[in-house]
Structure 1
Amino acid sequence: MKNFSTVLGFELRNYFKNKSYMILTILIGILAIAAMFIPRFFNLFGEDEGDAENQSTYALYDESGVLPEELIQAFFPGTTIQAAASAEEVKSLVENAEADAGFVVTSPTEYQYYVFNKSMGDSDSMIFTSLMQTASFARYCSDNNLQYGEIQQAMAPEITSTENILGKDSGENFWYCYALVILVFMLIILYGVMIATAVTQEKSNRSIEVLVTSTSSTSLLFGKVIAGALASLFQVGFILGGVLLSYEINRSFWGGRLDFLLHIPAEVLITFALFGLGGFLFYAFLYGMMGALVSKTEDINKTAGNVQMIIMVVYFLVLFQIQNPDGMIMKVTSFLPFSSYSAMFARIAMGSVTLAEVIISFLILVLSILGVGYVGAKVYRSSTLRYGNPLKLRHAIKGVFRKN
């Protein structure tokens, strides 16, 4: 491809000379890296008097007197139980934020639960129900001269288990897999639109008429796309790489609290880099092709909207199926070039996949990139001197193959 290196160098200089791009990349990277070092200098997770201040407080009015204090503490360890004189007092304590929640026991088998704002993970009501059931069972044993401890041991003996994970721990890998899928989606959307806009701007200001006389359309399109890929790789590598490295350095100070998000195995990162870059190039060529079909930047959404729709469908499909990485939907999408960049990565991180499947999927993706790049370059060439209304993609592709 004639003059490819010239186009690539020119496009890269435009990225790295862009002050907002460089300042944003460096600033976010430095701040994120610095955040990883905070626990090294400040005792954020140490046990101190602050833990007592954060202790939960529950208000309790036991009208029937059916709950032994020791049983309450067993079900709510490390919690302050504030006795109330009435149901109204419990309600008042919760409303005034003097208690995190409140319970009013009206009979041995009935209670009311008070909470001001109930969170999605609130399990206090379920725990209190178990407390009431246990207390009721203990009373039954006492009333009938039964040995509560012996019966409880017989009904619920202590079981010792050892967990041996022979494959992958999906629960442990879920969050960083989820985050990386979102990251590559954002990069494709952000840089894809930038590439499409750059192509369209050259047509709108007629500079394309000069460019096509000095270099090939293939060099122009490939130079723009690969420059965008390198710019995104630099940005993600600097920020994400710096965060992961600085977290590993300070992991002991964090107490492993961010392992679920930042302690990523090397093979997962390598897979993410390969398939993420492949998916980026695939869609970048599509965006470049879409940008070549119009002559005004305000018309980009008319053509690029279809690509964005595909990206959004793939994004939500993978996220909804990410907890079932070995399901049929994920298996199929992991081989399609439109979705393999995220679906295959999710299967590798969380499911069972053979090396042969990974290689086949990656080869399909690479061949698809070359195919889209070839067709995109031809469309770019045939539409460079076409101005006016946007050209429909199917007509452009038909024209390319008709000429060949």
Structure 2
Amino acid sequence: MTGENDRLLRLLGGEEIAWLVERARRRMEQGKPLIGTVTLTAATPAQRRAVEVLLGRRAGAGTSLSVSLGDVDHIVRSSGVAAGGLAEAVVRLRGPIRDLAGEKAALASAWTRAFARIDALVTARPELAGWRSWLEATGLVRRLAADPEDARALLDRLTAVLDRLPSRGVPLGRLAAETCADAHALDEGRPLATLALSAARALAGLPYAGEGGADARRAAWAAVGVHLDDLSSLVLCLGLPGDDRTPTGRMLSAATAAGEPCVLTLRQLHRHETPLTAGLVRICENPVVIAAAADELGPACPPLVCGGGSPSAAVWRLLDLLASGGATFAYHGDFDWGGIAIATAVNERIGFVPWRYDASSYEAVPSSAPLTGRPRPTPWAPELSKAMTHRGVRVEEELVLADLLADLASR
């Protein structure tokens, strides 16, 4: 065998013929037969002479050099240096051949297994289908995970988090601890936090990538009932009757008597354990409605709560306390698809009657601002979604402020 190896090295082991062996090896790794011609552009004189010695004839002229793999295979076999021909020679010179096609298939299978649990969850929750396609298109998971096994562990933890969303109000650290056994797993900058926040935005009807600021992150988490702490989560209200038995009740009573808006923290609302009684409560989306109502109506303003865009955990807590006290709700928001998503979340949680938030109210307001985003159903007023899709303009709440104030004045 030593003699055969020496002969093989003399035949195909030289530096000037290495390109030919390497081309053959690459074809074998790709599962291709060693047939046809390989070409070397800009061949050196030494490389041309090496091929001529191998073939026993001139190798043409010009700068490019073409060699028939079939000819080389015949030479290797007939010379007796490798009974298996060129394929055997390549293995002996370069070592075992990788099965690139098999490796590619195995890697694809590993990635499929990595996504198995999250894909099962998305199948059960079609509202996440667009987000799942976005994950695939952006390659976000593959950038955050070193390999399929790392991705599988990451996505399994993500599935556990999403199983708890939306929540009725949970601190971020507690959510992380209970789903991942790590209170910091959802801290800003962690891979799981990046994925979970994009999914939270999807559930809230927001752009998956979203804005990168702290306020935007806090709002996205709040939209699915998760708060970063119980002091930064706030709710703005006006005219809510309080009581003289609790700190929060006394704050509300004083603010209502003065006709001033009241800002409550989630901490205060968590410590208020008894229902709030208020009768009919109107809900608006934007703080400008609260400010204008305080200016014009003061103490005469009926109960009014501001959702502040995507409702925070504090907003949800206040609405739950009001609902448990027997309150009913009337809702108004922006006529755009983001506003419809917010209204849908409120309607699903506490129910409401539309407050100038139907098709006729929408069509009555002049506007030329283009409506963008994905259409959504409006179950509280089914014709509204159709009207918005047909008309294609958005109407912000500020445009109907005078009408809203008139309704509040007439109680």
**TM-score category of the 2 structures, normalised to the smaller one:** under 0.3
Instruction: Using CA pairs under 8 Å that are at least 6 residues apart, name the structure with larger relative contact order, 1 or 2.
Output: 1
Question: Which structure has the larger Rg over C-alpha atoms?
Answer: 2
TM-score (norm 2): 0.21
Greater helix proportion: 1
Q: When the two structures are superposed, what TM-score results if normalisation uses the length of structure 1?
A: 0.21
